[in-house]
Amino acid sequence: MGLISLLWGIVALLWMVLALIPLVGWANWFLIPFAAIGAIIAAVGIMFTRASHDGRAKAGLVLNGIAIVVGAVRLMLGGGVF
C-alpha cells in the first residue's frame, strides 16, 4: 500500500504541475478526487503497516495532500474554469 500511494502521489504532483498551466486549470477538477483516492490509500497503508515500515505511505499521504491543497487553491484563484 505504501508504494502504491507513493507512486500515486508522484503522478498527482506531475498532474498538478500540468494543471498550473494557464487554460488547463480545468484539470484540477479531476486532480482533486484523484489525489483524494491516493490519500485514502495512504491512510489505509499507514493503518495496516508497522510503524517502522510506514515511511512510503506517509510520503504518499504528504504528496497527495500537497496536490489537493494546490489544486484547490488554483481552482479558487482561477474561478474553476481557467
Model pLDDT for residues 20-59, shown as the tens digit of each residue: 888 888 898 999 999 999 999 999 999 998 888 889 999 9
Sequence spans of domains, the chain: 2-78
d(CA 61, CA 16): 15
Task: Tell me the pLDDT tens digit for each residue of 49-67.
Answer: 888 888 999 999 999 999 9
**Quick one: DSSP state of residue 75?**
H
**Quick one: DSSP state of residue 22?**
T
